[in-house]
Amino acid sequence: MPLIMIIYYVLTICIIGLVVWNFVREKKNIQDLILYLLVLIPLLLRVMRAK
């Protein structure tokens, strides 16, 4: 795997971590919760290498 792809996957995992952390910490706003989950879709699919 080229270095650029490894960096790309590491970045994706970091962003997933941030979004999940925000999802867990959110206490009131349901719209934000939905938004976090929507944002997660492409990131998770990429990390799972789903084809």
What is the Cα–Cα distance from 43 to 36, expressed in whole angstroms? 11
Structure tokens at 40: 């997660």
Burial class (CB in 10 A: 0-12, 13-18, 19+), 47: middle
Per CB under 8 A, the list member of 15, 16, 44, 47 interacting with another protein is 44
Shortest reach from residue 36's CB to another protein, in Å: 9
Shortest reach from residue 16's CB to another protein, in Å: 13
- Residues of this chain that interact with another protein (CB under 8 A) are 4-5, 8, 23, 26-28, 30, 33-34, 37, 40-41, 44-45, 50-51
